[in-house]
Amino acid sequence: MSGSELRLFWEFVIFIIMLSVVGFYCILVTRNLIKALIGLEILTKGVTLLFIIVGHSTHQEALAQALVITLIVIEVVVIVVAGGIILSVYRHEESLDARALRKLKG
Amino acid sequence: MPSLLILVPLLGIIILNLMFKFTRRRVAFWFAFVLFSIQLAITLLYRQPWYRITEPAFSPFFKVGLSIDSLTFVMLLCIEIVCLASLVVSRYTLIDRDQRFNFINLLIIASVGMNGIVMTRDIFSLYVFLEITAVSSVILIAFRRGKLALEGAFKYIMLSAVATILMLSAIALLLLVSGGTDFQAIHTSIMGFHKSRVIVFAIGIFLTGLFIKAGLVPFHGWLPDAYASAPSAVSVLLAGIITKACGVYTLIRLCTSVFGPSVSLNQVLMLAGTVSIVAGALAALGQQDFKRMLAYSSISQVGYSIVSLGCGTPLGLIGAVFHLFNHAIFKSLLFVNAAAVEERVSTTDMEKMGGLSSKMPVTSATSLIGFLSASGIPPFSGFWSKLIIVIALWQSGNRAYAVIALLAGVLTLAYLLLMQRRVFSGKLREGLQGVREAPFGFCLIALLLAAITVGVGIFFPVAYAVLFEPVRGVLLR
Amino acid sequence: MMLDIVLLMVMVIAAVWSVMARSLLKAAIGLAIVSVIITIFMFKFNASLAGVFELSVCTGLITVIFLSTIGLTKPMTHKQILEFSKDRARRYGLLPVLVVLAGSLAIGLLNVPFGFTLVQKASQADVRTVLWNLRHLDLFGQIIILLAGGFGAVILFKEIKEDEW
């Protein structure tokens, strides 16, 4: 099967790949905890877009929408909890430097 | 009725929170105890005919399939037992009633999540319940807000979220060729297109996500930190069941029912499993903190299950599930004892311990049973599961892997007995004169878990026939 | 078609800006821009309910959460930004290069045979039917995770008392 049927899909996937690269790079390189959370959010946006474009290409928009709605609700909860942890870390350490989180040797 | 295992705890939480503040703080522990016992009873009775009679009343509401088969049954047993153990431990380690109340609520939510993971037959619902379990376990790690715990929780949530993103991308790609998200539909479409690069890529990233969740090397970075820094009752839960239900069970279920029998998949599993066995065991040798040593030991034992899964034969599958069950029981036992020691000695550094067996005889004896079972010494249950794994590997022609598994067993014996010696045997160290035996409940739960280990070991033929042989049916699809 | 590509480029540029920005507030705004563009695409591809969710929840709620977290932790972060600004360029300078590289590699993959055919579905049910009739379990899951999130928020956002260790 050649790319002609999936042209639209593939155009979007190129940009989704770029978005994922941005997200992963952000999580790996940043020293600020909130930036890491932003990187995670960017990755999530990429996956959301992927679901939508897959749904459109295969004419399953209804299923894709239902999945995306659930996805969004879950992501909000994850962000709230991660934000709570970051706030608690800040209250202990008075800083958001990720290097302060090197106490555990891993 | 499978959905009862989700509805009953949910109802429990609602009732628990609607009570007056004064009553609920006192009543929470026993309420949760009764709730988990009810769940255990429901699990044990799942073959009774009255299940099917009540089915039509519920089924319009729960149409997306929840079902209990033999693999699910074993997992449900583990979940309920470990949750009860964690609950009992929390009674003694969380003195503050408010904290205990929060802990109990989150414990119930986590158990709902895990029940859902093992009962669902739909890949997206699997994701939903995985997230429920992950979020509630992160809050559990962090809820006392100690510095180290927050660090462990943050690492866990970041890696878990990355794993989730990988799994979701894989699901989206798989939706390109499949009409629905249930296991059956995806399996059919994968079988139809298994040569396609996109499908192979999708399976690859899904597997990466699952390896992160299961804590296999090289994606195990979060595991020792999370296990060691969490409060004791939460460590019991994490090590005993959460990593297994989220990571190992999903690997077993998906690799057998969805990603299909495939030679390259099995190779990858065996390789990853073996690396985990060896790396986990080697890392455990050098640890000072005994919760960390137990954490690396967990990585190693999970590797055993994965190697057995990668074998591809029915015996391999049975070995993987049996070892999963045994690991849940003896690892919980070891962490319960670790909690007892930490409670009495106020440290987890093994350098500061020694000779505790004179002061804490029950803890010491049950620890010894746990260590011997983990090392695979007869007649304990661990011996049988490791034996089955080695036989399965040998029979399917993977002789090299069988030899490695056997040798790593010796390594396991080494570091575990080292730990027993350092903590319990020998002369009593100076500062430890005032140490008393662990409280009654601790001893009870430790004895219970040890009894299960010994019982399954001695009555191995019965346990095998009833619990583990039927798991064979999962593969024959 | 061209509009799609322009919007996608703006999205990627906003994401890169969000990561490379010195101030966290600008990063949050960059994220909001990405969300808005995703919402536009959702409406374009006939996924209006999801678009409404994305707009209200992601662009709205998540930006509010980020801004409040940033606001609550702001005083210290400015001081450290001055410390870090020296090696920032070295660390983050690689990003646009990587992004362009990834994009070109991906374009190159356009001609690789995929080896699968898309599934063809006959009729299209409405999203509300799918959600309410087919995916009960997900709805239950959403309720449970909202419960968990509620507990988490209550537990984690309280002030840390002195006697907690």
pLDDT tens across C20-68, in order?
A: 887 888 888 899 999 999 999 999 988 888 899 899 988 888 788 777 7
Q: Are A38 and C28 in contact (CB under 8 A)?
A: yes
Q: Rounded to whole angstroms, how far apart are CA atoms B388 and B254?
A: 22
Neighbouring C-beta atoms of residue C10, cutoff 10 Å: 14
B160 in contact with C, Cβ within 8 Å: no
SS3 category, B182? strand
Residue B443: the pLDDT is 86
Q: What letter represents residue B163's amino acid?
A: A
Q: Which residue has the tokens 């109802």?
A: B11
Residue B10: the pLDDT is 87
Best residue in A44, A71, A94 to probe B by mutation, most B CBs within 10 Å?
A71
Residue B355: the pLDDT is 75
Report chain A residues touching chain B, CB-CB < 8 A.
9, 27, 33, 36, 40, 43-44, 46-47, 50-51, 54-55, 57-58, 60, 63-64, 67, 70-71, 74, 77-78, 81-82, 84-86, 88-89, 92-93, 101, 103-104, 106
Residue A106: the pLDDT is 43
Q: Which residue has the tokens 């539909």?
A: B185
Report CB contact under 8 Å: A22, C113.
no
Q: Which of A23, A62, A69 comes nearest C126 by C-beta?
A: A62
Q: Rounded to whole angstroms, how far apart are CA atoms B119 and A49?
A: 29
DSSP B241: I
SS3 category, C107? helix
What number does CATH give the domain A7-94? 1.10.287.3510
Assign 3-class secondary structure to C12-28: HHHHHHHHHCCCHHHHH
C26: CB partners within 8 A, 6+ apart: C17, C18
Report chain C residues touching chain B, CB-CB < 8 A.
112, 114-119, 121, 133-138, 140-145, 147-149, 151-152, 155-156, 160, 164-165
Q: Where are the domains of chain C?
A: 1-102, 126-158
Longest Cα pair distance anywhere in chain A, in angstroms? 57
Angstrom CA distances, C29 to A33, C14, C18, C91, stand at: 17, 9, 7, 22
Report CB contact under 8 Å: C138, A66.
yes
Report CB contact under 8 Å: C119, B124.
no
Q: Which of A49, A81, A84 comes nearest C41 by C-beta?
A: A49
User: Taking the alpha carbons of B267, B269, B272, B277 in that order, is the dihedral positive or negative?
Assistant: negative
pLDDT tens across C97-137, in order?
A: 888 888 888 777 766 666 666 666 555 666 666 666 677 78
Q: Rounded to whole angstroms, how far apart are CA atoms B365 and B32?
A: 29
Set of chain B residues whose Cβ sits within 8 Å of the Cβ of C115: 193, 195-199
Angstrom CA distances, C24 to A32, B258, B393, C31, C73, stand at: 9, 43, 53, 11, 11
Q: Which residue has the tokens 């049954």?
A: B73
Cα-Cα end-to-end distance for chain B:
23
Cis peptide before B218 (omega within 30 of 0): yes
Q: What is the mean pLDDT of each run of 10 residues along chain A (106 residues)?
A: 62 89 89 88 94 86 88 93 88 68 55
Best residue in C1, C37, C39, C46 to probe A by mutation, most A CBs within 10 Å?
C46
C150: CB partners within 8 A, 6+ apart: none
Residue C165: the pLDDT is 42
Q: Where are the domains of chain B?
A: 261-477
Q: Where are the domains of chain A?
A: 7-94
Q: How many CA atoms, within 13 angstroms, populate the side-chain half-sphere of residue A35?
A: 26
Report CB contact under 8 Å: A87, C72.
yes
Residue A97: the pLDDT is 66
Beta strand extents in B24-173 (DSSP E only): none
SS3 category, B46? coil
Residue C164: the pLDDT is 46
Binding-face residues of C in 127-156 toward A, CB within 8 A: 127, 129-131, 134-135, 138-139, 141-142, 145-146, 148-149, 152-153, 155-156
ipTM of the complex: 0.91
User: What is the third-level CATH fold of C1-102?
Assistant: Four Helix Bundle (Hemerythrin (Met), subunit A) (1.20.120)
pLDDT tens across B188-218, in order?
A: 888 887 777 788 889 999 999 999 999 888 8
Q: Which residue has the tokens 């600020």?
A: A32
Residue C114: the pLDDT is 63
* Predicted model pTM: 0.91
Q: What letter represents residue C104's amino acid?
A: S
Q: Are B6 and B112 in contact (CB under 8 A)?
A: yes
Residue C160: the pLDDT is 64
SS3 category, B381? helix
Residue C121: the pLDDT is 59
Tens of pLDDT along chain B (477 residues) come to: 677 888 888 888 888 888 877 777 777 888 888 888 888 888 887 766 555 555 555 555 555 568 888 888 889 989 999 999 999 888 888 888 888 888 999 999 999 999 999 988 889 999 999 999 999 999 999 888 888 888 889 999 999 999 999 999 999 998 888 878 888 888 888 888 777 778 888 999 999 999 999 988 888 888 988 888 888 889 999 998 888 888 899 999 998 888 878 888 888 999 999 999 999 998 888 888 888 889 999 999 999 999 999 888 888 888 999 999 999 999 999 999 888 888 887 777 777 777 777 778 888 888 888 888 888 888 888 888 899 999 998 888 878 888 888 888 888 888 888 888 888 877 777 767 777 777 888 888 888 889 988 888 888 888 888 777 777 777 755
Burial class (CB in 10 A: 0-12, 13-18, 19+), A41: buried
Q: Are B156 and B141 in contact (CB under 8 A)?
A: yes
Residue A2: the pLDDT is 42
For C4, phi and psi rounded to 5 degrees? Answer: -55, -50
DSSP C159: P
Radius of gyration of chain B (CA): 21
Q: Rounded to whole angstroms, how far apart are CA atoms A86 and A92?
A: 10
